[in-house]
A and B are shown apart, each in its own frame.
Chain A
Amino acid sequence: MLLKGVPARTTQVAQVGGVLNREAMDLVLNPHDAKAVEAADFLKRRVGGKIVALSMGPDMKLIPLMKPLYGAEVTGVDEEYVLSDRKMAGSDTWATSYAVSLGVKKAVGRHLAPIDELAAVISKAGYSDAVKSKAKELYQANLLPNRVYSELPAVKDSIVQRFSEGGITADQALAELAEVKESLGRFIVVSGIKTTDGETGSVGPQVAEGVSELLGKVVPHATYVEDFDVDDAGTTVVSARRIGRLVQTLEMKLPSLLTISTEYRPQDTSAALQPAARHNNYRGKLLQAQKWTADDLAADAKKLGLAGSPTIVGTGIDVGKPPVQKFVGKSTVFLKAVPQADFEGKKYGPFDKGQLVPELPQALADRLKGEGATGTFGYDALVGELFG
């Protein structure tokens, strides 16, 4: 689940050379991200697993913002990471997407490595106490799902449990672990459709592309998703998305990425799904948000921050030129065309009907007014100019 901290108020925007200085502003979570939270919550109720929140920006600002999300919706976020590093400051969408893609890969990888660790103990020694103690250690660190090892009374058929009771052989246990590992690679990334500061909507699809490159496989994406569901096995997501006047139903294999529309309303999940979801859940939450630096991500510094951003924000410009203004009931205008006005040997004009009366000698201005050539700009003249 991708989140962003955006300026809380448009009146307090600190910029340094066109780049927002997020450290100097009050931040709030991007309002569009609320839909990503709802979507992630739906997924956890539907098929279980873990909700990992990932953001990028000043950790001191973001961690307090993200903390309430541990209790958000029904299930809440399980883990939170903030990509925070001076080297990432000033990133445009490309550089942001690069860093976030690395973050996604690392967050997923964190859960794959423990499966390998446990498998290594099993293949080395077969069943021994070492297997159980390794599993317990990883489980308590929230790194193994209940289906691998569990201390929940309701879960009696974890892989380690059946293996320890002789129900399955070491080879069978390893095969099952391989399956678990594969399923952990079938993640979904959800994000809002855009942020309220940049308003680009680019980072979602660009992270799908970035993760595709990092994993060496195509991660499909769907933007503006109004409705979606996953199959029971957690292999496929079907989403409905708006493209202009079309609603497209897109079926995607996992891993995939969705940006969630403001029109999204989570479906209800039935109680019957709970046992299956529980098998995919982890023991608890890591309530301490973690900061990941560029080094933690093993990022290429040339691709981060200002240096890694293809776009440069230049100077701002004002919107349009100020128009010639006529104030109803106040401005004085020509009520008819005056090709020429002679006054004290000088020629003035021509003046068009409706034209604002320019600076004129007072006596001439009075004369024109007296002749009915000029007058106050009223509603009749306005309507004539608008629709005539």
Chain B
Amino acid sequence: MSAEARDVWVYLQRDKERLTKDSLEVLAAGRKVADKLGQKVVGILLGDGVEELAKQAVQYGADGVLYVDSPAFGTYFNLRYIDAIFAMVKERRPYAFLFAANELGKDLAARIAYRSVTGLATDNVLLEVEDYTNPALGEFKNLMVQIRPDFGTRLARIYTPRHRPQMATVRPGNFTPLQPDMKRKGKLEKFPFQDAEYPAKVREVVELPPPELDMTGADVVISLGLGILKDGSGRPRDPRDAYRLAEGLKKAVEARYRAKAVIGASRALIYAEVKELEGVISKANQVGQTGTTVSPKVYIALGISGALQHRVGMQKAGKIVAVNTDPNAPIFKIAHYPIVGDLYEEVPKLISMVTGGAPVAG
């Protein structure tokens, strides 16, 4: 039965007149998987007046868009959306179905997967296509390999061999949206839907002001970890000193190179609730699996040991600098520029070089 399932579906989220960045990333992920399979990418879009958005999806890599267009879908309401999407799945039987791993994508995907009696691999950082052999179940050609952070110290491959669609959520920040091609043509197809009575309704939707800190758009991220609490000799240091150094580096980089720099933090530092850093560093700064995934040109890790949960949130950075006193810190495995030393000594050297001072001996 599974042989007839075809196409890679991508659920498209919208923000007013645009597809969200997360959705464009998932489209790129879907394109990659579909090309390897020799299948089509179909965007799934629900909303009120979404035909223009459907065209956008084609420009960004979809071969076609299956959409529901009705005032009933003007506001996101999970039960109605789930019913409409499930009706599509049931009728068309996609081979794979991808969602963004954000609140909305996960809200939909989980329930749709259960109802469809299929697997859901969440928070994937990579998707591949491979043959898979399981001693108990046999051989499977061209399965989607869903690669996600595992508990512990590695990434795990997740397979959904026997059930269709193979459903996955894709962690934002791990795929780059394709360049739009205004000439690309695709098949736009409207899908009917039947409204129903629901034991729930949306009363109100309020838009919060834009976040003060947009880490995903930064060129340079300078992150602090628990290591800032001590200096190279193990003596306690006021973490505000490290914050001032990070600020100094940020300002120097911004002034000299006109780059956008932000200050990040590891989960360990956020969870430690360091009193001195109250009001300066918050969850908004957190980089990693439970925080923000960043892919800046330059990532500078200060006093961060580099647990896997942190690494999955920053390993896509173009160049990684790590300063740590522990030569065995896992961060050094992925750093392009490891600096084994005391950040309280090393960062001032870096700052003076950025500001154009004379090279510091050492």
Binding site for B on A (CB under 8 A): 7, 10, 13, 15, 18, 20, 92-94, 97, 197-206, 208-210, 213, 217-218, 220-224, 238, 241-253, 256, 309-320, 322-329, 378-380, 382-383, 385-387
Known: A13-B152, A248-B76, A325-B336. A379 touches B122 (CB 8 A): no
Known: A251-B203, A320-B334. A382 touches B104 (CB 8 A): no
CB contacts under 8 Å to A, within B110-124, are 110-111, 113-115, 117-123
Give the Cβ gap from B207 to chain A, nearest Cβ, in Å: 6
**Chain B residue at minimum C-beta to C-beta distance from A241:** B103
Q: Are A323 and B336 in contact (CB under 8 A)?
A: yes
Q: Are A251 and B200 in contact (CB under 8 A)?
A: yes
Q: Which residues of B contact A203 (CB under 8 A)?
A: 110
Give the Cβ gap from B72 to chain A, nearest Cβ, in Å: 16
Q: Could you tell me the distance between the alpha carbons of A318 and B153 in the complex, rounded to whole angstroms?
A: 9
Known contacts A324-B336, A329-B339; 14 further A-B pairs (Cβ under 8 A): A97-B114, A200-B122, A202-B106, A220-B79, A246-B205, A256-B200, A316-B150, A316-B155, A316-B157, A323-B334, A326-B337, A328-B337, A379-B360, A385-B319
Give the Cβ gap from B138 to chain A, nearest Cβ, in Å: 12
Is B202 at the interface (CB under 8 A from chain A)?
A: yes
Q: Are B155 and A250 in contact (CB under 8 A)?
A: no
Known: A210-B114, A314-B156. A387 touches B253 (CB 8 A): yes
Is B199 at the interface (CB under 8 A from chain A)?
A: yes
Q: Which residues of A contact B257 (CB under 8 A)?
A: 387
Is B161 at the interface (CB under 8 A from chain A)?
A: yes
CB contacts under 8 Å to A, within B54-95, are 76-79
Q: Are B152 and A10 in contact (CB under 8 A)?
A: yes
Q: Which residues of B contact A20 (CB under 8 A)?
A: 151
**Pairs of residues from A and B, 8 with the lowest C-beta to C-beta distance, nearest first:** A310-B119, A311-B119, A314-B157, A316-B154, A220-B200, A253-B199, A205-B110, A202-B110
- State the interface size on chain B (CB cutoff 8 A): 87
Q: Which residues of A contact B353 (CB under 8 A)?
A: 379-380, 382-383
Is B127 at the interface (CB under 8 A from chain A)?
A: no
Known: A97-B114, A314-B157, A380-B353. A223 touches B107 (CB 8 A): yes
Q: Are A327 and B76 in contact (CB under 8 A)?
A: no
Is B350 at the interface (CB under 8 A from chain A)?
A: yes
Is B162 at the interface (CB under 8 A from chain A)?
A: yes
**Chain A residue at minimum C-beta to C-beta distance from B311:** A319
Is B29 at the interface (CB under 8 A from chain A)?
A: no
